[in-house]
Amino acid sequence: MTNVLPDIKVVIADDHEIFRDGLKLMLGKYPEIHIAGEAQNGLELVEMVIEHAPDVILTDIKMPVMDGIDAVKKIISANKDAAIICLSMFDEDDLILDMIEAGAKGYLLKNSDKTEIIDAITTVYHGNYHYSKSTSHKMMNMLAKSRFNPYAKKMKPEFSEREIEIINLICSEKSNKEIGEQLFLSSRTVEGHRQRIMEKMDVKNSVGLVVYAVKNELVKL
């Protein structure tokens, strides 16, 4: 898990009070996380961001008065580096993509566990992107084919022929065991390659790996 830096100010936006309360209760167990404010719609979120200048913003997509997409656009127009995570339901792929293209630095499904939520907060706090571990294959394809490219300005690392082979097989949804059988490697060796590849790409999970690979023309979906 990514190390949590001290005093990360977080603002939460969701129109369901029960969800906000549950999220606050969970985050409140981490002394490094400080809840700076909460909003129940996009307009309140924009005002809250102006007032509190949070380090990280967690926001729902569908909200009254102003939805999450318009709120993100307004926040990003004032601060292009704002660290925003959108909170989504499992069937909101199109809206998730709209949020990311508007400037969100990643997304979480609302049923994500606390470890992933904290990891996502610290990841975007550092200026990186976080994709939910529960990403659907459809969403993975949409991210890879979209105009959104989080890796456009990063230095491109070099990958060995073996790593390119493994990248292509991962993008074909092969498991470590299946990749190992095809390349005559142990599952542990494949996992070691996978971890080194993700470190080179500076991504956190297989979703980020696939998006990186397609955006940088290492593979075609």
User: Residue 156 has what DSSP assignment?
Assistant: P
Mean residue pLDDT across the chain: 89
**pLDDT per position as a tens digit, 135-146:** 877 788 888 878
What was the pLDDT predicted at 2? 47
What is the pTM for the complete model shown?
0.78
3-class SS at 161? helix
Q: How confident is the model at residue 149 (pLDDT cuts 50, 70, 90)?
A: confident
Cβ atoms 1, 118 nearer than 8 A: yes
Over 1-32, what HEC string results? CCCCCCCEEEEEECCCHHHHHHHHHHHCCCCC
How distant, in Å, are the alpha carbons of 48, 157, 169, 186, 210 from that of 164?
45, 12, 9, 17, 12
Residue type, 206: S
3-class SS at 54? coil
**pLDDT per position as a tens digit, 167-219:** 999 988 899 999 999 999 999 999 999 999 999 998 888 888 888 888 888 88
Scanning the structure block, which residue is given the tokens 């129109």? 15
What was the pLDDT predicted at 22? 94
Region 76-90: mean pLDDT is 91
Give me the domains of the chain, ranges plus CATH numbers.
Answer: 8-134 (3.40.50.2300), 161-215 (1.10.10.10)
**pLDDT per position as a tens digit, 118-129:** 999 999 999 889
Token couple for 169: 């097989």
CA atoms of 119 and 204, how far apart (whole Å):
9
Looking at the predicted structure, is the pLDDT value of residue 3 above 70? no
What was the pLDDT predicted at 200? 92
Looking at the predicted structure, is the pLDDT value of residue 1 above 50? no
What was the pLDDT predicted at 92? 80
**pLDDT per position as a tens digit, 53-62:** 999 999 999 9
Q: How confident is the model at residue 6 (pLDDT cuts 50, 70, 90)?
A: low
Half-sphere exposure of 126 (CA within 13 A, CB side): 15
What was the pLDDT predicted at 70? 95
